[in-house]
Amino acid sequence: MRLIFVRHGETIWNRQLKMQGRSDVPLSEKGKRQAHMLAASFTARPHYLFVSPLKRAQDFALPLQRRFHLQPIVEEKLREIDFGAWEGLTYAEMTPAVQEQYAAWCEDPCCITPPGGEAFAQVAARVQAFLTETQKQLEEQESAVVITHGGVIRTAVTLAMEMPLKFAARVRIDAASKTILECFDGNWYLVKLNCTEHLQQCDGKGV
């Protein structure tokens, strides 16, 4: 079975370089265009569409949902990491102490929890639960599109590849990118990582 993870498109806070997390920030105009490009890139109807509860993911899913008449499955486990007191801040707006905390989190997200936020062990547990549940739910030849967030996709890749969790923050996942995992005989395989080819416009320029 195949899981096609898609990070939502660009948001207003992405443009402003703000920490986003659980904050329910809408897509930018560019993010809305990326949603249509994503939908156009699919030639076959996926069997399932899983979506994070956050608005930016649900809005990003709409063009794909409408194209193939899919009924989205809203999945709480796909919410972005809760960054607590860091949310809404740019790096420049962080105090030196917070910058130090954030640098430590990027080095190893298991070693520090954002104040008022979510421990990375909790993130890993819910993402692992999602992988396990979909592995049981989907038949061997079935596929699902999973529209979620960068932190969730990084964690899924790290878990599926059985890498130490400290490496999750070093996996690059761009806005509106596709990352594909396949499961065969109980083993996960990374087929594509951070693929953005579908975001090229007809004139060859990026969005």
Annotated catalytic sites, by residue? Answer: 8, 80
SS3 per-residue string spanning 32-95: HHHHHHHHHCCCCCCCEEEECCCHHHHHHHHHHHHHHCCCCEECHHHCCCCCHHHCCCCCCCCC
Residue type at 105 in one-letter notation = W
Other CB atoms within 10 Å distance of the CB of residue 140: 9
- Please name the residues in contact with 161: beta carbons below 8 A apart, sequence gap of 6 or more: 188, 190
3-state SS, residue 173: coil
121 is written with which tokens?
């062990």
Q: Which DSSP letter does residue 104 get?
A: H
Q: Which residue has the tokens 């994503």?
A: 38
Interior angle at CA 36, CA 195 and CA 56, nearest 5: 80
